[in-house]
Amino acid sequence: MRKIIQQGLLAGLVSGIILGLVLKWIQYGTGALVYTLLLNVDFVPVLPDVLPEWLEFAMHLVVALVLGVLFRLWISRWHHPWLAGLALGVASSLLFFPLAMMSDRVPAVNDGQAYMYWLIGHLLYGLVLGMVGRWQIRQRSLF
């Protein structure tokens, strides 16, 4: 079980970092505030209004680590890492809508272009999860 948790943490870390970098790159290139949305914590009442980017990114990675562990537990029982990764990517992309409604500094809930970028980023996130999960399953079968 310990190894599965460690593998999940690795899967979450890698996919979370890639998602963050891709959304930051998309925001830089297009102006769509998808990276800002990813890091947005305006809806958490106990946090200050402004936090440093590194801290917001660290909070994003905490979520990614938890999802990575859940993903790894899932594929330890259902050996379809690509499908599981894509399912998590699509499901997490739907967070765009409630998150967009909770802040004035992120894309509007009806911003189709921003949602398209967000979805692309989260599909990539799911593919990376699937890739790491597939690699982990193959590594395990070698031992």
Q: For 93-112, how does the pLDDT look when each residue is reduced to its tens digit (9 = 90+)?
A: 999 999 999 888 899 999 99
105, burial (CB in 10 Å: exposed 0-12, middle 13-18, buried 19+): exposed
Under 8 Å between Cβ of 14 and 128:
yes
| Rounded distance between C-alpha atoms, residue 68 and residue 71, angstroms | 5
Tell me how many degrees the CA angle 26-21-129 measures, rounded to the nearest 5.
110
Q: For 4-52, how does the pLDDT look when each residue is reduced to its tens digit (9 = 90+)?
A: 899 999 999 999 999 999 999 999 999 999 999 999 988 888 888 788 9
